[in-house]
Structure formats: structure tokens, C-alpha cells
Amino acid sequence: MWGKEFMAQGIEKVLVPEEEIKKRVQELGDRISKDYDGEEIVVICVLKGASIFFADLCRAITVHMKMDFMGISSYGDAQKTSGIVKITKDCDTSITGKHVLIVEDIMDSGYTLTYLVRMLKERQPASVKIACLLDKPSRREVEITPDYCGFTVPNEFVVGFGLDYKGLYRNLPYIGVLKPEVYAN
């Protein structure tokens, strides 16, 4: 059986339940709407992990926006980025002179977002800010902080709500900690 129960068997504990995420996303949406009041923004989803957070967050934001998507792949294993980031799909909206909000699933070492921000700034946008669902500040290797953050999480490997382990678990409606034996074998 490959049902929800099977998926849940890989989960050690629920870290952030569905209802809590929903509430927090609305709070972030309210803050973002207030901060950009009267402006038009370009909201960029970092595929694939941010997709679910992005869809919910965008609907909680009330200012005019254009949505775009970027694909990136970072060399490294499933649990850690190497710091070398490759763009597999660029956004097609012109961001020059625009307010850009990057939406990411989790900030870990910080390499991915440092690279993305630097790359997007070369296109001379009016501003670049970061919204991430989760932040693992204990693992930071470069100095960077999200402008909007859903939850700070401990140094554990988490999945669900877009976050994956080897491509799986993204469809879990909550954030869970993966059982160590799942990635041990």
C-alpha cells in the first residue's frame, strides 16, 4: 500500500501541524501585503520545494503581483547542499526596477539563497526580499536571514508541505521529521 498511512510510517513526529502552517502563512501574507502596500511585486517560486507554500502564500497576499518560477539544482547529496547552484529554469518576467520576493521552502546553509539573491540583483530590481517557510539557523554557513520566515526549526531533516527526501513526501500536508532509518538505507 502506498497510501497516506504508508507515507506516515516514515515520519518520526509532526513538527508543524497543518492548521498551524495555515495560520502562519496568513500572518506572513498580511505582513507582506502591508509592507508592499500600493506596490506591484514579482513573486518567484523556487521549484520544487516552495511550490505548496508559494501557492498558499500568494493567495494570502493582497497586492498586485506577477508570479514566476525558477528551477535550481544544487550539487550535493539529498540532505545537504554543496554551495554550487545551477539554474535549470530561469524566470521569464523582467525584474528590472521591480520589487522581487523570492519564495523558498527552507533556508539551511544559506548558500542557495545567497546565490539566487546575488544573481537576481545583477538584473537591477528595485528590491529583493526572501520569504521562506522554514529556517534552520543552526546550520547557517553564510550570513543571510530571511525577511519573512514561517517557522524556525531545529537541526533535523524535515519533509512535507513541499519539502522532500529524494523527491518523496512533498505532498504531506504538514511538516514532519523523517525517521533516521529512512535515510540510513
Catalytic residues: 108
**What ranges make up the beta strands (E) of the chain?**
11-16, 41-47, 65-74, 85-89, 99-107, 127-135, 148-152, 158-159, 175-178
Nearer to Mg ion, 42 or 116 (CB): 116
Bridge-based pairing of strands 11-16 and 175-178 is antiparallel
Is the CB of 63 or the CB of 129 nearer to ligand IMP? 129
Site for ligand IMP contains 158 (CB under 6 A) = yes
Identify the residue among 110, 146, 160, 176 touching ligand IMP (CB under 6 A): 110
Please pick, from the candidates 15, 61, 109, 175, the single residue that binds ligand IMP as defined by CB under 6 A: 109
- Looking at beta carbons only, is 61 or 109 nearer to Mg ion? 109
Q: What letter represents residue 185's amino acid?
A: N
Q: Judged by CB under 5 A, which of 16, 44, 49, 113 binds Mg ion?
A: 49
Apex CA 54: angle with CA 148 and CA 137, to 5°? 40
x-or-dash string of contact with ligand IMP, 2-41, rule CB under 6 A:
----------------------------------------
C-alpha cell recorded at residue 171: 505532498
**CA pair distance 41, 61, nearest whole angstrom:** 10
- Region of 29-37, 63-71, 93-101, 153-161 interacting with ligand IMP (CB under 6 A): 153-161
Establish if 107 lies at the interface with ligand IMP (CB under 6 A).
yes
How would you classify the pairing of strands 11-16 and 85-89?
unpaired
